[in-house]
Amino acid sequence: MQAGEWNKTISAYNFSRPWLTEKQPELQSAIDFGLGYSGVVGKGIFLTPELTYQRIQSEATTNSNRVFVQMRWFTAGLALDVYPMEFGLDTVSFGFRPFVRLGVGAASVLPRVFIGDSLAYSRNEIYDPIIWNVALRAGLGSRIRITDFLDLTPSVMWNYFPKMNLEGFANALHGTLQPGLSDEDRIHQFVFSLALSFRVGKYKKRV
């Protein structure tokens, strides 16, 4: 994940504390899953409403002092899936069905910074914001037939959040104002996923 300003804040935290025996790592994905449903709107064209959840985190302990950063992402969106091999076909019997996905939605991010077991403070308040942002998605994938009712769906997606307000994250992590660090960022994510897709009806064989 290209979370530039968040990870830049973590790098600045490590640089300003050379005595740390365990450096604070950059944010890394811990859990990522989602649910969706594809409905036919045309031959080879589907609309897919989807919900996704992602948790990314960073944890380090030095001299019994634990610093834990966790961010939970909830995204609701609507995607247009285009299956170029299926244009103009009434029935589909392909075992390999590549598609292109374009989507838009809204994301809610819950960042938290724990010092020990307690939430950190930012600007004299507990740092527990809810951050809202527009979510854009584009990518490629394919449905690979396993049974008449089950597909394996690998995909590679690019997620983009154009203007993310960090709500004083640097202040929460460092414990003081950090004028050299931005409180706003554009977030890029490249996500490879492997999903199981269930079919309502079995594959139809073309005569």
- Domain span holding position 47: 4-198
Burial (0-12, 13-18, 19+ Cβ within 10 Å), 180: exposed
Q: Is residue 15 part of a domain?
A: yes
Judge whether 203 lies within some domain: no
Q: Encoding tokens for residue 161?
A: 């959040």
Q: Which amino acid is at 206?
A: R
pLDDT less than 50: residues of the chain:
206-207
pLDDT of residue 194: 87
Task: Go through the chain and tell me how many residues it has.
Answer: 207
- Provide the pLDDT for residue 196: 87
Asked, for residue 207, whether it belongs to a domain, the answer is: no
pLDDT of residue 96: 86
C-alpha to C-alpha distance for 203 and 24, rounded to whole angstroms: 50
Spatial neighbors of 88 by CB under 8 A, at least 6 apart, are 43, 44
pLDDT at 207: 41
In a domain, 205, yes or no: no
pLDDT at position 203, please?
A: 53
Please give the Cα distance from 18 to 66 (Å, whole number): 16
pLDDT of residue 206: 46
Q: What domain count does the chain have?
A: 1
Residue 204 falls inside a structural domain: no
Q: What's the CATH code of the domain at 90? A: 2.40.160
pTM: 0.80
Which residues make Cβ contacts (< 8 Å) with residue 153, sequence separation at least 6?
Answer: 141, 142, 143, 144, 194, 195, 196, 197
